[in-house]
Amino acid sequence: MTTLDSPSREVAREDHIDIAGTAWPLYKLEAVAVGLIALLVLFLVTGTAQTAVLTAAAAATLVWWARRAYYLRG
């Protein structure tokens, strides 16, 4: 009888931070931090929540995917 193991993704870097017993990749925490900083700064500058929330979400998403690609690339 033969078995087939599913291929696993190996992360080139082991940059994780333990939060409440769960290992969070560093790129996720960086994206959350960028999103929060962008939210606060834009809300103070523009005074409108819609602009601040949408722009901060876009910035966090961009950082999330860019840093994820960087860490997976190795």
| CA distance linking residue 56 with residue 31, whole number of Å | 10
Question: What is the total count of domains within the chain?
Answer: 1
The predicted structure's pLDDT at residue 49: 94
Q: Which residue has the higher pLDDT, 65 or 4?
A: 65
Please give the pLDDT value at position 4. Answer: 65
Do the domain assignments include residue 14? Answer: no
Percent residues over pLDDT 70 in the chain: 80
Sign of torsion, CA 55 56 61 64?
positive
How many Å is the maximal CA-CA distance in the chain?
66
In a domain, 40, yes or no: yes
Residue pLDDT, tens place only, 40-63: 999 999 999 999 999 999 999 999
Range of the domain at 46: 32-50+60-74
25 within some domain: no
**Residue 32, token pair as written in the block:** 């959350």
pLDDT tens per residue, range 7-35: 555 544 568 889 888 899 999 999 999 99
